[in-house]
Each structure stands twice: as C-alpha cells, then as structure tokens.
Amino acid sequence: MQNSQNTIEWIVANGNVIFESVGILAFALSGLLESARKKLDLVGMAMVAALAAFGGGTLRDILLDRRPFFWVQNVAWIFVILGLCLLSLFFLRTRHLELTERAIQWPDAIGLGVFSAGGTQIALGEHMPAIIAVIMGTLTAVFGGVARDIAVNQIPKLFIDHQPYAVVAFTGCWIVVIGDWLTWPSVVSLGLSAIVIIALRMCAVLFSWRLPTWRV
C-alpha cells in the first residue's frame, strides 16, 4: 500500500517530465519512420529524428525565453536519439515493415497529444495568459512535424492534407487551461488533454475527417 502511494506521488511530482519523455520518443519515432521511407542514411535519420523530437520544444523555449533549451538541459536525449537511429537500421533491415504514411501517423498522434498538453502546462508555469499558453502548446506539438517534413523535402502535411491536426491540438490544450483554473493536479489535466487530442487525431485519420477547403 505504501509503495503504491509512493508511486502515485512520484508520478504526480514528475508528470511534466514523463509527458515530455513520451512526446520526445513518439516524435523521434515518427521522424525515424519518415526518414526510413525516404531511404536516408544514418546522419539523415538522426537529423530528421532530432528535428521532429526537439523542434517544437525549441521554438517554444525561444518564444518563452527559457534557457537552456530543454534538450540542452537533458543531454541524455541526444544519445537516446542516436541509439534509436542505430537500432532502427538493424531492425528495419531484419523486419519486413510496410512504412506507409498512415503508419507514421500513429506515433505522430501520440506526440501531438503529449507535446500539446505539456507545452501548454509549461507556458502556464511561465505565467502566460491562457490564449498564449494554448498557442505555445500548439506550436510545441506541430512545429516538429513541420520541420521533419521540410527536412525530407516535402510540403508539411499540416498544410496540405486538410485533416484536423493543429485544430485538434488547439482545442485539446484548453483542457489544461481549464484544469489550471480549477486547480486540478497537473498530471490529471495533462493526461486528460493528451488523451482527448490523441483520440481526436486518431479518429480524424481513421474516419478521414476533413476541414473545409477553398472552392476553385
């Protein structure tokens, strides 16, 4: 019983770190899969994975004037990314995987939800207004994917596939704001926000939801 209580207390105290870790791994995996589809070498894979994993958080830290950047403060993530790249080279050579665009969207959806919630919480911790915190959360989540797509020489999917992506992130970030207003434990508002965003994004992919488009 005591061990369970200690575990819960540790999760509550380290909620932001846990969420950031999950988001980094999810976006790094999306970058690895995308670079594998493009048949990049090890250097290319590492760069694309790093851009996907660190791009959004770096932009957030720049705009919030937070130093050092989160990945500079936790340099172990650089070695994690390099290790994932090395492992993926061996794994993808020994396994027959169909690297479709939809396969890449699953880890991307997880990263979207986790980074959106975490970025909003960080901005609130910097005493930003609610709308600014939500924008920061959305940028944290979407910019890594934009940087990833540009690096592999394609127009970012965010701009052309007409599926709810940034809209989903923007909507779900408000759950973190509401949780802050209601003084919920941060791990509760973070978890609920991430789950809602991930679920909405997966539904958008599965059911081919589309945003309104221009008539030509």
Per-residue pLDDT, 2:
43
216 residues of the chain, pLDDT tens digit each: 545 444 444 444 455 667 778 888 888 888 888 888 888 888 888 899 999 889 988 999 999 998 888 888 888 888 888 888 888 777 766 555 555 556 677 788 888 899 999 999 999 999 999 999 999 999 999 998 899 889 888 888 778 778 888 899 999 999 999 999 998 988 889 989 999 999 999 998 888 888 777 665
3-state DSSP helix/strand/coil percent for the chain, to nearest 5?
A: 80, 0, 20
pTM: 0.83
Residue burial 126-153, b: 16+ Cβ < 10 Å; e: rest: eebebebbbbbbbbbbbbbbbbbbebbe
Per-residue pLDDT, 216:
59
Q: How far is CA 206 from CA 57, 84, 106, 163, 199, in A?
A: 28, 28, 11, 11, 10
Per-residue pLDDT, 4:
46
